Structure 1
Amino acid sequence: MSTTYDVRVYKTETYQGKKTTTHYVRWKVAGKLHREGFRTAALADSFRSELVSASRRGEAFHVDTGRPVSMQREEHTMSWFRLACAFVDMKWPRAAATTRRTNAEALTTVTTALFTTAKGKPDDKLIRAALGRWAFNTSRRDQDKPDAIAGALRWIERNTRPVSALADPEVLRPVLDALTVRLDGKPYAPSVVSRRRKILSTTVEYAVERKLLTKNPIPALKWTAPRTVHAVDRRSVANPVQARTLLAAVGTQQRSGPRLVAFFGCLYFAALRPEEAVALAKHNLSLPEKGWGELTIDTAEPHAGKEWTDSGANRDRRQLKQRARGESRTVPCPPELTALLHSHIRQFGTAADGRLFTGERNGQELPKLTIVRAWQRARAEVFTQEVVATPLAGTPYDLRHAAVSTWLNGGVPAVTVAEWAGHSVEVLLKIYAKCLDGEAAAVRQRVEAALGHRPSG
């Protein structure tokens, strides 16, 4: 790699976006322009100062990378912890709040599997908090930290393996194994393992991009991930009688239950995702006094936690899942849901911005915990202890599964169901095409008839 002493460092530029501000350091090496972006002015100034200092010392710069020789050498021995922080910062501006949190959780697990020693190691719970809530949160990393957190981060930075160690199968394999096990020793769901493995692989690809590794060693490693189950567990799908009984039970749960009946109704009768129902506003409704109406869904507000959103709210306002910003979809509103929505508006009104579903305090966003508690109490009231222990309607999201299954089993074409539910037909048939309770018996009767058996009686 060729070097030169022809270096010129420019003033830092600031780009003000709609949600984030980026500070760019610009410099030329042998006439080739280089640019590096930073979340804060302090980080940009620090990096620029390093470039200026190296130039004034008469240090050679690499023409291809634009970095001083000393800095380039340091990067080739970069620790995993520093790389993970850089990866988070690179992804942060364009990532959804839930993705930011998921990245932090995965990288925390990986980092704790790459410590070089246990000597002087802080408490495991403290380490996870330091990594997951501070180090891998770009907006909080430079804030004042509790002394215990700051001390834990200093220990982590001193005692994490270099990125280059991942090229060793004896190091990489335990890291992948760590992604499969929960803190209590029980295995993670295969979908969680798959998601975290993808995050690790993407981070390693970033290391290759930065020339810290020559190639991604993960594909070549003989390691088998747990098999991912894509289909919905049929046992979790409620039939219409069970779903309506649960909705009625929600209405008796004080104090928030009555204002959540229509919310859960949107999940069951219109197959909305919870984050779509939370964002539903009066302007999204096209309803007659009675009968069929329509819901136009154009926004989702998934719960991420205020530490991960740009707005500081617990919910992140986003476009619909797998849709471009500004895209919407129209869902039919059955007469039963039309009645529920009219009743809800008459009883509780709407927020100042037109939102239908809010917390008990005026205009407050609907807390996730309120939704979960009301559903759990309704299940406990309706079902026996034996049924409560099963997956049947175990989470509010299972109402959406039940809705899509009902449509499919009712004979609605898969293309139409996919459009209503916001899925591709392939994903729909792979995940949601499940039978309701009692459908198996009807199928068996058809088989008996085909075999020539006459019905009894």
Structure 2
Amino acid sequence: MSTEDETPALRPHGEAKPGYSLDIRLWKVTKVIRKARPYQLRWVVGGKVNSATFATSALAENRSSELRQAMRRGEAFDIASGQPESEVRAAAEAAKVSEEEPPLRWFEFCREYIAGRWRTSAAKTREGIADGLAAVSLAMVKRGDDVPADEELRLAFRWGIIPANAGEDPPADLKAAYDWLTTTDRPVGDVADAAVFEDVLYRLGYKLDGTPAAGDTYRRRRRALNTALEHAVVAGDLSENPLQRVRRKHVGSNDVVDRRVLVNALQARQLLAAVSYVGSWDRCRGRRLVAFYAVLYYAGLRPAEAVGLKRSDCHLPDTGWGTLTLRETRPVSGKQWTDSGERHDRRGLKAREAKSDRPVPIPPVLVTILRVHLDTFGTAKEGRVFGNERGGVVGSSTYWRVWEEAREYALPPERVESPLAGRPYDLRHACITRWLNAGVPIAEVARRVGNSPEVIHRRYHGCIDGHEEAANAKIALALEEEGDMP
């Protein structure tokens, strides 16, 4: 059966100018065997067959309708391109305009894009976008003699795209890199060039030293670039997002918890005791943070949640279990990324509505630790449970340094060099693992720690005691039934 349109469009007879034809035949949309753009539209202009493919049948039918309407208007079609005369004329006018107006360049595009997202984005999101686009920018500048080092170009980019720095002179140590970045950057459209785009993909997945980037880093960079290119398409700076044509790079997940970082109950108590010995006794540098690490280990808080914890969020009865009601986090970002100019941003709970909270029951041992802490040190500014010596926000560098010193006190030398409790965050991992091994349902663990059950299952499945033995027993039983085991 012929696929030619059985209802031909009406075309008045006449003569077409050279290179154009009124002899046009349009076929119905057909589906071909291919994974991408499987819908095909074919038409003939002056004996020359033209075709176009589309991702959906709706897009193909829309294009067919556009061509049919041009035929009904009596338009001649360009034989070389197969396009209606009106489209050829519009394309020529657009090309003329683009010749008169210089194309939008990469750095200016990034600066405008980030400025548009700045007001509605958290500080960590701003920094993440800047980091991803800074990596890509190394592929979007032309190379030559005296090109600054890649690290300098990245730093210059991160400085230059901050809205508050627009119109300001760059720092002296970044001036050469900033000048190179803003004078040799490519037009945005060059991202679709095959050679340039290959380098873009490389920058997404590799660090400056040529080693592969972590899976989370790659995914964050790719996400930042993808949203920026989608914006460029909407704004008319790109005809399509070239990243959509590339199959996502498979990166092994590195977010599965390493069992070697998990401490047992005795090791945890030794570490908490060692924290109190860090620093001089009168300045209390370590003693101020014993309860801080304790809420990570006994309640599964994230460090940013512990930093933002307030006395009014704590129910600490004289006996029995208490409750911490989490409402705010204080993630660390550079001063340049926050609206307040402080290093700590002020955000709601991760992956929750801005004003939602998360109650976490806490055992009597943690209730006692917190009561002793508050009796000894009181509250910091804004009623926060934890503060530095001046009552300010506990900085990440502070609780990292104290933890590193405490590990040297609490662990034998061979364990200090091991991954065991290498980060304060590993106390949260130990808490979650302990709850799972105690038989607490995954859904309840997820609710208490602010994750989805899927994340808990994926990250901690290999840490649950008895799973390997149970799997071995099932395999042994199968082998025994098949006669392969005595």
**Distance in 1 between residues matched to 2:165 and 2:301, nearest whole Å:** 33
**Distance in 2 between residues matched to 1:118 and 1:448, nearest whole Å:** 62
Q: CA deviation at 1:309?
A: 0.7
Q: CA deviation at 1:73?
A: 6.4
- C-alpha contact 2:204 2:222 (8 A) present in aligned 1: yes
Change (3 A) 1:365 1:72: farther
Q: CA deviation at 1:446?
A: 6.8
Specify the SS of the correspondent of 1:179: helix
Of 369, 377, 399, which residue of structure 1 is paired with 2:427? 399
- C-alpha contact 2:140 2:191 (8 A) present in aligned 1: no
Aligned to 1:58: none
Aligned to 1:34: none
Aligned to 2:187: 162
- C-alpha contact 1:110 1:175 (8 A) present in aligned 2: yes
Aligned to 1:232: 257
Of 405, 408, 416, which residue of structure 1 is paired with 2:444? 416
Q: CA deviation at 1:144?
A: 4.4
Change (3 A) 1:183 1:389: farther
Verify: 1:337 aligned to 2:366, yes or no: yes
RMSD: 2.8
**Distance in 2 between residues matched to 1:376 and 1:186, nearest whole Å:** 27
Of 60, 85, 105, which residue of structure 1 is paired with 2:131? 105
**Distance in 2 between residues matched to 1:430 and 1:297, nearest whole Å:** 24
- C-alpha contact 1:292 1:332 (8 A) present in aligned 2: yes
Verify: 1:376 aligned to 2:404, yes or no: yes
**Distance in 2 between residues matched to 1:440 and 1:381, nearest whole Å:** 34
Q: CA deviation at 1:286?
A: 0.6
Specify the SS of the correspondent of 1:358: coil
**After the TM superposition, which residues 141-220 of structure 1 pair with which residues of structure 2 at under 5 Å, given as runs?**
141-220=166-245
> Which amino acid letter does the alignment assign opposite residue 101 of structure 1?
E
Specify the SS of the correspondent of 1:164: helix
Identify the structure with bigger relative contact order (alpha carbons < 8 Å, sequence gap 6+).
Answer: 1
**Deviations 1:323-377 (CA, angstroms, capped at 9, x unpaired):** 111100100111111111011111111124211111112x221111110011111
**Distance in 2 between residues matched to 1:105 and 1:224, nearest whole Å:** 19
Aligned to 2:45: none
Unaligned ranges ≥5, structure 2: 1-93, 481-486
Change (3 A) 1:326 1:222: closer
Q: Which deviates more, 324-333 or 242-251? A: 242-251
Verify: 1:274 aligned to 2:303, yes or no: yes
**After the TM superposition, which residues 123-138 of structure 1 pair with which residues of structure 2 at under 5 Å, given as runs?**
123-132=149-158, 134-138=159-163
> Which amino acid letter does the alignment assign opposite residue 410 of structure 2?
V
**Deviations 1:44-85 (CA, angstroms, capped at 9, x unpaired):** xxxxxxxxxxxxxxxxxxxxxxxx999976777211111111
**Distance in 1 between residues matched to 2:467 and 2:237, nearest whole Å:** 56
Aligned to 1:292: 321
Of 388, 402, 414, which residue of structure 1 is paired with 2:416? 388
- C-alpha contact 1:194 1:228 (8 A) present in aligned 2: no
**Deviations 1:101-136 (CA, angstroms, capped at 9, x unpaired):** 11111111111122112233234443222111x212
Specify the SS of the correspondent of 2:400: helix
Change (3 A) 1:378 1:169: same
- C-alpha contact 2:160 2:166 (8 A) present in aligned 1: yes
**Deviations 1:241-263 (CA, angstroms, capped at 9, x unpaired):** 22222112112111411111100
Change (3 A) 1:85 1:441: closer
- C-alpha contact 1:405 1:433 (8 A) present in aligned 2: no
**Deviations 1:257-299 (CA, angstroms, capped at 9, x unpaired):** 1111100011110000100000111000011123210000000
> Which amino acid letter does the alignment assign opposite residue 342 of structure 1?
R
Change (3 A) 1:119 1:331: same
Specify the SS of the correspondent of 1:345: helix
**Distance in 1 between residues matched to 2:360 and 2:310, nearest whole Å:** 14
**Distance in 2 between residues matched to 1:209 and 1:394, nearest whole Å:** 45
- C-alpha contact 1:408 1:433 (8 A) present in aligned 2: no
Change (3 A) 1:124 1:74: farther
Q: CA deviation at 1:424?
A: 1.6
Q: Which deviates more, 202-211 or 140-149? A: 140-149
Aligned to 1:252: 277
> Which amino acid letter does the alignment assign opposite residue 229 of structure 1?
N
Of 268, 278, 282, which residue of structure 2 is paired with 1:243? 268
Aligned to 2:460: 432
**Distance in 2 between residues matched to 1:326 and 1:287, nearest whole Å:** 23
**Distance in 2 between residues matched to 1:286 and 1:73, nearest whole Å:** 68
Unaligned ranges ≥5, structure 1: 1-67, 453-457
**Deviations 1:140-199 (CA, angstroms, capped at 9, x unpaired):** 333443345344323212111111111123211211112222233332211111111111
Aligned to 2:355: 326
Change (3 A) 1:169 1:238: farther
> Which amino acid letter does the alignment assign opposite residue 417 of structure 1?
V
> Which amino acid letter does the alignment assign opposite residue 463 of structure 2?
C
Of 337, 344, 356, which residue of structure 2 is paired with 1:308? 337
- C-alpha contact 2:233 2:241 (8 A) present in aligned 1: yes
TM-score normalized by structure 2?
0.73
**Distance in 1 between residues matched to 2:97 and 2:170, nearest whole Å:** 28
Of 142, 145, 166, which residue of structure 2 is paired with 1:119? 145
- C-alpha contact 1:76 1:211 (8 A) present in aligned 2: no
**Distance in 1 between residues matched to 2:169 and 2:419, nearest whole Å:** 44
**Larger Rg belongs to:** 2
- C-alpha contact 2:436 2:445 (8 A) present in aligned 1: yes
> Which amino acid letter does the alignment assign opposite residue 116 of structure 1?
K
Specify the SS of the correspondent of 2:323: strand
